[in-house]
Amino acid sequence: EAQVTQNPRYLITVTGKKLTVTCSQNMNHEYMSWYRQDPGLGLRQIYYSMNVEVTDKGDVPEGYKVSRKEKRNFPLILESPSPNQTSLYFCASSLSPQGQVRYNEQFFGPGTRLTVL
Q: Which residues lie near another protein (CB under 8 A)?
A: 33, 35, 40-45, 48, 50, 56, 58-59, 90, 92, 97-98, 101-102, 104-111
For every residue of 93-106, DSSP letters joined together read EES-SS-STTS---
110: left (phi over 0), alpha (psi -120 to 50) or beta: alpha
CB of 54 to another protein, least distance (A): 11
d(CA 49, CA 74): 8
Least distance (Å) between residue 73 CB and another protein: 18
Task: For residues 22 and 9, give the distance between their C-alpha atoms in angstroms, rounded to a whole number.
Answer: 10
Q: Which is nearer to another protein, 38 or 79 (CB)?
A: 38
Between 6 and 85, CB nearer to another protein: 6
- For residues 36 and 81, which CB has a smaller minimum distance to another protein in the complex? 36
